[in-house]
Amino acid sequence: MSAVLKMGGADRAPPRHFLEIMDHDPATLRRMLELGVQAKRGAVAGRPLAGKTVALIFEKPSTRTRVSFEVGIRQLGGDAIVLSSRDMQLGRGETPADTARVLSRYVDAIMLRTDNVAKIRELAEHATVPVINGLTDVSHPCQIMADVMTFEEHRGAIAGQVVAWTGDGNNVAQSFIQAAARFGFILRIATPPELAPPVTLIEWARTQGARIELTSDPVAAVKDARCVVTDTWVSMSDEKPDAGAINRHNLLAPYQLNQALLKRAAPDAIVMHCLPAHRGEEITDEVMDGPHSVVFDEAENRLHAQKGVLLWALGGAG
């Protein structure tokens, strides 16, 4: 018999959280993507989230995450409540555990976008409804689900293909590392040594059979890749100047995704960027707006991939 949770005197099955790519096996992740593809094709019958309410909590600014989740929930027949840290006691000292216990009595799922990964983990530990990671300082799993969907729309199955990352080993790069272990693609990561992703994460991925190649040479990383990915050099949490901080722009200038670098990739390579982009820094206009770019298809697929996650988490889809 499966475990159950007690909430308000009623029995409830354990919630289906979506916190990290690494938490799920390939079949489960594939199921989420299948549901997202079905939603994009209009093949999801009726209003499967009718009567469901999702709390969307933003402790960091957002364009794509807010709009894609809110629109997706409504297109599936559900309701969304959008909250910021200014609206909640969570931003005034209430613990994530207490917030989770209260919101679980009101809503059917919680999405959190935060700097602090410990906060979302505590929220999920105490929630009796699904918790979805809308971004943390160490990962961005919904983005990577959209990226896999986008690659496969344009170039077929991602397993065995070479994906190259050039730039900072940030939270998006770290979710790509997890995805390489689950979706079976070869991941080459080019970063300055000072900004490389965590060694422990690389080691975990390799124990899972992932083929991860680390280098400080962006040309070596991009050579013959079918997909080249970059991201902003300065995250929203690092925008305030700090005299003691690493000068990221000087370190990362050689990793700019420009036409010269893109020419080293496969002739049919596609270019991704999760946005927002700082044009002229990590990516040039020529590449961003060029024929290899699928950046705006990728942005659209946040809507559809997240519908798949929601349907899996809330709809009981297998």
| Residues carrying an active site annotation | 113, 140, 143, 231, 274, 302
DSSP sequence for 237-290: GG-S--TTS--HHHHHGGG-B-HHHHTTS-TT-EEEE-S---BTTTB-HHHHTS
User: Collapsing DSSP states into helix, strand and coil, what is residue 58?
Assistant: strand
Q: Does residue 292 contact residue 269 with C-beta atoms inside 8 Å?
A: yes
Instruction: Express the helix, strand and coil content of the chain in percent, nearest 5 each.
Output: 45, 20, 35
Phi, psi (5° rounding) for residue 186?
Answer: -85, 125
Cβ-contact 33, 305 below 8 angstroms: yes
Q: What is the per-residue DSSP string for 87-129?
A: GSGGGGT--HHHHHHHHHHH-SEEEEE-S-HHHHHHHHHH-SS
